[in-house]
A and B are shown apart, each in its own frame.
Chain A
């Protein structure tokens, strides 16, 4: 069983994938249709004509609406390109979480960076962990905590994992008042384990 690498910008990843796939399909379709024309698939007369034939040029020159339509398409493409660029800046990282769902009872919010700092501090104080960071992803309605933990080799992975799952996660869930908070833990093993004398 495997997990894909953590994606903190899922919207950008999906948009890029769809955009580049569409571009690839467009280029492939254009190339194939052009090659069919080039090899006489639409008749011998067509393959000997220029890519931009005089009839097309005069049609474009005589019809103003054609250029208005081209301008409309160009505007649409510009808007889509801007949205595509804006998607690159999107992130699913949270800044605050509303702890009070009932507005009539006031507003209580939690600054996520404080929780992330407390969480990474707690993790780094544990034996076997060299460095740790915590990131809260999602939205106001669905949160997911991601823990990135680099082991220092002084404790086996299994012991570190047991400690985190049984001691650290219950505290975080209690702080967030969310006993079912989804958590993803990513371990980075020590590449030069420290040898401990037994």
Chain B
């Protein structure tokens, strides 16, 4: 789940909770102040106020609740400041007012597919970040002399063909003598 989607789900839940709670509080206040009610009408708050009236600040439950608040607060702040992975790697053809880029996720799959083009490579995986393309390939050959160099050469030419504005550095690892 992306940060944006997580934020959206969380935001809807928080906004709905705030809306419902504040409307219930309003109803209770109007019920008691304007309509002369004596008992709660929709929000059963007396057990909560009774519990808080007995809960001392230095008690273990109070401290547990407060530590929980600090942890949730820190998690929310950290999540909002987290740097998300790049969606696209920019192409060299980008120049205002045109911005062109390749989606990072498909780049990873295509890079893995390109690595398997090399004879002797059975499977491959690739991870693409802002600055680096990491390719892990597996070969079933026991004696795959020079296979690492072949994969590196193939991947380097593949990256060059993409015409990226800042081509990431390449790192290739070939696991020989086994197949997945």
Contacts and interface: CB of A to CB of B under 8 A. Distances in A.
Nearest to A37: B57
Interface residues of B, number: 77
**Which of A3, A21, A38, A39 has its CB near the most chain B CB atoms (within 10 A)?**
A3
Nearest to A44: B58
Interface stretch (B94-102, B137-145, B146-154): B94-102
Nearest to A82: B19
Interface string B1-19: 0101001101110111011
A40 B15 CA distance: 34
Contact of B101 (A158, A165, A185): A185
B30 interface: yes
A32 B71 CA distance: 10
Give the secondary structure class of A's interface. helix
A152 to B, nearest CB: 12
Give the secondary structure class of B's interface. helix
B166 to A, nearest CB: 5
B56 A51 contact: yes
B41 to A, nearest CB: 14
Contacts of A15: 11
A166 to B, nearest CB: 10
A24 B70 CA distance: 9
A158 B163 contact: yes
A1 B166 contact: yes
Interface string B81-114: 0001011111101101111111110110110011
Size class of the A contact interface (CB-based, 8 Å): 35 or more
Given A46-B57, A50-B55, A185-B100, A27 B113 contact: no
Given A6-B87, A27-B69, A51-B55, A64 B33 contact: yes
Given A47-B56, A180-B97, A186 B77 contact: no
Which 8 pairs across A and B sit closest by C-beta, in order of nearness?
A24-B76, A5-B87, A28-B73, A31-B69, A2-B86, A27-B73, A31-B70, A191-B109
10 contacts: A3-B101, A17-B80, A20-B14, A24-B72, A28-B70, A49-B57, A50-B55, A50-B56, A51-B62, A84-B15
Given A52-B55, A184-B100, A193-B114, 8 more contacts: A24-B74, A31-B66, A50-B56, A71-B29, A158-B161, A182-B97, A183-B97, A189-B103
Interface of A: 1-7, 12-13, 15-17, 19-21, 23-32, 34-35, 37-40, 46-54, 57, 64, 67-68, 70-71, 74-75, 77-78, 80-82, 84-85, 88, 156-158, 161-162, 165, 169, 180-193
